[in-house]
Structure 1
Amino acid sequence: MALSKLEQLYRQVIVDHSSHPHHYGDMTDPTQAVELHNPSCGDLIEVQVKLMEDHIQDIRFSGSGCTISRASASMMTDLMKGKTIAEARQLINAFSLMMQGSTPQQEEIFGDAMMLQTVSKFPTRIKCATLAWKALEKALEPA
């Protein structure tokens, strides 16, 4: 079965984010850092954040993983930088719902991360797509 042009575009954006991830690497002075592992496929992602008052001043990720987990982490860091903690939590919740297939398309909210909506059709890949988002969620928990 041939991929539609839209599916081809989605796939290319995901591959680009995975091959050339944004905000990748270690931060010198994070206020929080959380590392999560997906035992089903071996992905290991660490999310580091620098919080200033109630905003995500900076965010980075490192680790290794499949194309989906690296692309998702890259897209998430683009989306979260500068957000308040409350905004970040809302986005994490909305992304989780999107991965479950239970939220309408919200391209204006998610930007490139909207491309990951197709992952919801593949239950074994949902953990890959949500790994970095769950790490950020844990990093934003009160100490």
Structure 2
Amino acid sequence: MDHSAHPHHRGKLDESTKTIEMNNPTCGDVIELELIVEEGIIKDIAFTGSGCSISTASASMMTDAVIGKPVSEAEHLAVIFAQMVQGNEIPAADEDALGDAAMLSGVAKFPARIKCSTLAWKALGKALTDEQGKAREGQLHKD
């Protein structure tokens, strides 16, 4: 609840090396994610947008989990988070690496909320793999 009421890293960065805007057409959640990636490390991250409490909390937890991490580790965390909220078992070490985000494992019991919880993580994955630094504006969250 605290991550929803007082999200960490909410706001805009003065400059960013990667940005993406995504939405979940099912419920109307929208996120714009900005990152500063230098020498393969996520130096800073911020998000804006509007969404339900699960979407906002997940974005807050995701930013805490990946800031200061190598891109490869952040990409791995995005994959394991998606697996976890779909009800798949993940290794204890991966659960620890997710930090507070591991608390969202219960979302698996509510299939309609899985997309809410994964929106920020999908945005992160797409932003990190986009070679141009700017993923397509208005990209829909269909995965």
Give the aligned residue type for 1:44.
V
Q: Distance in 2 between matches of 1:73 and 1:54?
A: 21
Shift of 1:142: 4.0
Q: Distance in 1 between matches of 2:127 and 2:63?
A: 13
Question: Is 1:108 matched with 2:96?
Answer: yes
> What stretches of structure 1 move > 3 A for 4+ residues in a row?
104-107
Match of 1:54 in 2: 40
Match of 2:120 in 1: 132
| Conservation of the 8 A alpha-carbon contact between 2:83 and 2:90 | no
* Higher fraction of helix: 1
Match of 1:64 among 21, 43, 50: 50
CA 1:124–1:105 in 2, change beyond 3 Å: closer, same or farther?
A: farther
Match of 1:84 in 2: 70
Q: Distance in 2 between matches of 1:142 and 1:61?
A: 17
Q: Distance in 1 between matches of 2:127 and 2:15?
A: 14
Q: Distance in 2 between matches of 1:73 and 1:142?
A: 19
Q: Distance in 1 between matches of 2:86 and 2:3?
A: 22
TM-score for both structures, normalised by structure 1: 0.87
What RMSD, in angstroms, separates the aligned Cα atoms of the two structures? 1.0
- The size of the alignment, in residue pairs, is 129
Gaps of 5+ in 2: 132-143
Q: Distance in 2 between matches of 1:69 and 1:39?
A: 13
Gaps of 5+ in 1: 1-14
Q: Which of these two proteins has the greater Rg computed from alpha carbons?
A: 1
TM-score for both structures, normalised by structure 2: 0.87
Give the aligned residue type for 2:23.
H
Shift of 1:104: 3.4
- Percent same amino acid among aligned pairs? 53
